[in-house]
Amino acid sequence: MNILLIAGHGAQDSGAVAKIDGVQYREADLTREVVSNLKKALENYGVNVSVYPTSHDAYTDYKNNKLTSFANFKSYNYVLEIHFNAGGSDLRGDGKIKGDECFWPSRGAATGLETPITSRLFTGSS
């Protein structure tokens, strides 16, 4: 199985930014950390894992029609892009907007992996 991992945001796009206990977190940094760890974990299961260039923002590449310059998407069984979405104006973290999601492009189809992936994500509780 060949999987492409994409770390969301990056380059000039920090993605969501939060300050928690005085520490500022940038979504772009965290997605790269997760992709690095996920790559190692998947390789332990014998999966061939490629990582989209982490110096790039894949969405910017998509908008500039450069996405396929950096990855041959047809050569992968699955493409997973990591994000940590945040609700706008939820600066105090009131818990009204949280959770996880796993979606696929309208031109694609669900593979059946989406529910198992999201069911294993920690969503926190309060």
Binding site for Zn ion (CB under 5 A): 8, 15, 83
In terms of CB distance, is 37 or 75 closer to Zn ion? 37
Min dist CB 15 to Zn ion, Å, is 4
- The minimum distance between CB 13 and Zn ion, in angstroms, equals 9
Q: Secondary structure of the chain in the HEC alphabet?
A: CEEEEEECCECCECCCEEEECCEEEEHHHHHHHHHHHHHHHHHCCCCEEEECCCCCCHHHHHHCCCHHHHCCHHHCCEEEEECCCCCCCCCCCCCCCCCCCCCCCCCCCCCCCHHHHHHCCCCCCC
Please identify, using beta-carbon distances, which residue of 43 and 114 lies nearer to Zn ion. 114
Q: How far is the CB of 122 from Zn ion (least distance, A)?
A: 17
Of 4 and 30, the one with the shorter C-beta distance to Zn ion is 30
Nearest residue to Zn ion by CB is 83
CB of 85 to Zn ion, least distance (A): 6
Please say which residue, 10 or 15, places its beta carbon nearer to Zn ion: 15
